[in-house]
Amino acid sequence: MKVEIYSREAIKELMQGEFPKSTAVISFCSPRKTRRAEEVRVYFGSVCDRVFNILVPDIDIEILADYGYTYETYLAEADELAKFIYEVRSEGRDIICQCDFGQSRSAACAAAILQHFEGRGIDIFADYRYYPNQLVYHKIFDALERYKGEI
């Protein structure tokens, strides 16, 4: 399974051409108080039939409360995401992780997936292009580990 990281701009450009077949997308976007969620999400339409959208801010654990979150409520869909990842993997699909700038949430998600399945999440952390969000990484990695124990 190939796992790639894209920014909003890069994924929109990819969608203008030939979107990779047998690929699923995990798309992170930031909630905006001044805009509706529908306006900040990337819409894949018929370009990709397997998309998991996550509306969550790119924040650190130290300021969760400032945004009205606890560790338990931040990325509350982590268990559902773990199931999605296992499903698309069993379908033989590759995964694109996408967020606004393609550096933090998407990188953290890709690192968690690669660590869980291949033991090489460090490759993302060691790549100077990325700044993986530690909170996102741990929430997704832990959810994948729990899901593995259930199947």
Asked whether the beta carbons of 23 and 98 are under 8 A apart, the reply is no
pLDDT score for 150: 76
pLDDT score for 89: 97
Residue 149 pLDDT greater than 80, yes or no: no
Residue 144 pLDDT greater than 90, yes or no: yes
The structural domains of the chain, ordered by start, are: 3-150 (3.90.190.10)
pLDDT score for 41: 81
Question: What predicted TM-score, i.e. pTM, was given to this entire model?
Answer: 0.93
Neighbours of 67 (CB within 10 A): 12
Higher pLDDT, 37 or 127: 127
Residue 33 pLDDT greater than 90, yes or no: no
| Mean pLDDT, residues 124-139 | 97
pLDDT score for 121: 97
pLDDT tens for 48-101 read: 999 999 999 999 999 999 999 999 999 999 999 999 999 999 999 999 999 999
pLDDT tens for 88-120 read: 999 999 999 999 999 999 999 999 999 999 999
Residue 34 pLDDT greater than 50, yes or no: no
Distance separating alpha carbons of residues 15 and 4, to the nearest angstrom: 15
pLDDT tens for 8-25 read: 999 999 999 999 999 999
Burial string for 86-117 (b: 16+ CB within 10 Å, else e) reads bebbeeebbbbbbbbebbbbbbbbbbbbbbbb
CA proximity to 68, closest of 31, 105, 108? 31
Tokens found for residue 149: 């124990």
